[in-house]
Amino acid sequence: MSDTKHASRRTFLKGTTAVAAGLTLSSFARSAHAAGSDKIKVALIGCGGRGNGAIDNCLDADPAIHVVAVADAFEAPATNAAKNLKRHRPDRVDISADRIFIGLDAYQKAIDCGIDMVVTATPPGFRPFIYNAAIKAGKHVFMEKPCCVDAPGFNLLMETNKLAEEKGLKVGVGFQRRHTPQFIETIEKIHDGALGKLILLQAYWNGDGIWNRPRREGMTELQYQVNNWYHFCWLCGDNICEQHIHNLDVCNWAMDDHPVEANGMGGCSRRYNGDKKGTGQIFDHHFIEFTYKSGAKLYSQCRHIPNTWGREGQQVFGTEGNSSVPGGINKAGKSKENRKARKSLFGDSMVQEHHDLISAIKNNEKYVEGWHGATSSMTAVLGRMATYSGQVVRWDDAVAKGTSEFPKQLAWDAPAPVKKDADGNYPIPMPGIYRAY
């Protein structure tokens, strides 16, 4: 990342803390929407479970939000989302039949239907170009994490972040921990030097596993892969991107930086056994040693295997003490006086993150969370490239040389980017054979 972009990101991070700490509902009531209206018209793009959750969070965050369109690659999620929103929020949902968009180009139709903002929770592989299309069209954006699954996607994100800043558009990313008072409090203390120089970080997302959707009769191969998106790297980036990214983002936040290289190991030992055979291609375990330019190490674990040790969280060690995040600072001697605990306006940080974005829109404050959305997403991609290949992978090389996971042609009847072998299995990357770039 260039010095200019890094400085921009650091400035934004400090602004995020101020937003979470100092806003009040009365200040919102006095402010006007930047476009001169009290209404902010929103389209939901991606109507799966997280999409429905995100749009509910957005509606809970501020009464100015009005949902006027939904879009999804498949018909049922789009029509069900529209029906449920109209039933539960009739006073703030106005989705006519001609604003229920379906298909692989539905996102563009939603962007073009006269909205102010998009909330996008599609499979992650689609996010870079949806984000780019929305910013080009002059729309504010909330996008779920991860924001990309490969290096070309990261580069497009960075270009789009710059464009968003130039246009004065506001961008939120679904890293709700950055809007949680306990996390903010602990990170501030770390940045104030409470632990001294950081030398070691640990990050974990070890759990049982995820859903696996069966193939439905009449589906094309591409439709099957998009519907079962968590099981294909071009759509989800592997579980290190889709879930473990939360922990990696917290570690990057603590370091105020991203790693410069990674090496690791991983594989797929149980995910596609039994009745799940031939249903996907991602790993079920990763271990990565990330290195930051300061020399600090981040040891990262993520696993999807039932009946194994489970843990989710992160720990930071410095020359003068250690702390979980969030958590108490453990160090010898006297520490700085604790700040009074902050309170969010909402008990739910997944509502708070939308509220902070909407406040920035109303008050025309600089707000582009896409910077750390991009770098933390690329950190996860860097780790995956290391585990898939079994090689040391350096950030600059990965960003410059990493290849696209996305298909060259996107159509339901187009060839899928991942094809089964003669035994009916999808190819799972093999360390020592897979090439990172």
Q: What is the pLDDT of residues 381-391, one digit of tens each?
A: 999 999 999 99
Place of tokens 């049982």: 208
Q: Which one has a higher pLDDT value, 33 or 79?
A: 79
Structurally, the chain folds into a number of domains equal to 2
The answer to whether position 409 is within a domain reads no
State how far the Cα of 241 lies from the Cα of 244, in Å rounded to an integer.
6
* pLDDT computed for residue 3 by the predictor: 38
Neighbour tally for 412: CB within 10 Å: 13
Determine, yes or no, domain membership for 340: no
* Euclidean distance between CA atoms 151 and 155, whole angstroms: 6
Whether 421 is covered by a domain: the verdict is no
- Give the model confidence (pLDDT) of 201-241 as tens digits: 999 999 999 999 999 999 999 999 999 999 999 999 999 99
Q: What's the confidence (pLDDT) of residue 18? A: 41
Judge whether residue 334 has pLDDT over 50.
Answer: no
pLDDT digits (tens, 9 = 90+) for 135-149: 999 999 999 999 999
CATH number at residue 205: 3.30.360.10
Q: What share of the chain in percent tops pLDDT 90?
A: 86
- In this structure, the answer to whether residues 29 and 164 fall within a common structural domain is yes
- The CATH number for 27's domain is 3.40.50.720
The pLDDT of residue 326 is above 90: yes
Is a pLDDT exceeding 80 seen at residue 102? yes
Q: With a cut of 80, say whether residue 80 has pLDDT above it.
A: yes
Quick check: is 148 in a domain?
Answer: yes
Here the tokens at position 394 are 């350096």
CB atoms within 10 A of CB 223: 18
In this prediction, residue 78 carries a pLDDT of 98
- 246 has pLDDT over 80: yes
User: Is 244 contained in some domain?
Assistant: yes
Residue 118 pLDDT greater than 90, yes or no: yes
Q: Does the residue 321 lie in any domain?
A: yes
Over residues 274-314, the pLDDT tens digits come to: 999 999 999 999 999 999 999 999 999 999 999 999 999 99
Residues spanned by the domain of 251: 181-334+377-401
Residues 227 and 91 in one domain: no
The pLDDT assigned to 33 comes to 47
Same domain, 237 and 315: yes
> Average pLDDT of 34-57?
89
Q: Are both 224 and 154 inside the same structural domain?
A: no
Has residue 15 got a pLDDT over 70?
no
Strand partners, 175: none
In a domain, 276, yes or no: yes
As a whole number, the mean pLDDT across the chain is: 91
% of the chain exceeding 70 in pLDDT: 89
Pair 15, 153 in one domain: yes
Decide: 89 and 67 in contact? Cβ < 8 Å.
Answer: yes
Residue 46, classed as helix, strand or coil, is coil
Cα separation, 404 vs 417, whole angstroms = 11
The whole-number pLDDT of residue 333 equals 52
Residues 186 and 171 placed together within one structural domain of the fold:
no
Same domain assignment for residues 209 and 303: yes
> How high is the pLDDT of residue 345?
74
Task: State whether 145 and 190 are in the same domain.
Answer: no
Cis peptide bond prior to 146, omega within 30° of 0: yes
Based on the fold, state whether residues 173 and 211 are members of the same structural domain: no
Is 407 inside a domain boundary?
A: no
> How high is the pLDDT of residue 346?
74
Cα dihedral value 275, 281, 287, 292, nearest 10: -150
The total of other beta-carbon atoms located within 10 Å of residue 38's CB is 12
User: Which pLDDT does position 173 carry in this prediction?
Assistant: 98
pLDDT at 341: 53
- Residues 182-207: tens digit of each pLDDT: 999 999 999 999 999 999 999 999 99
- Residues 137 and 268 grouped into a single domain: no
Same domain, 288 and 190: yes
Do 36 and 79 lie in one domain? The reply is yes
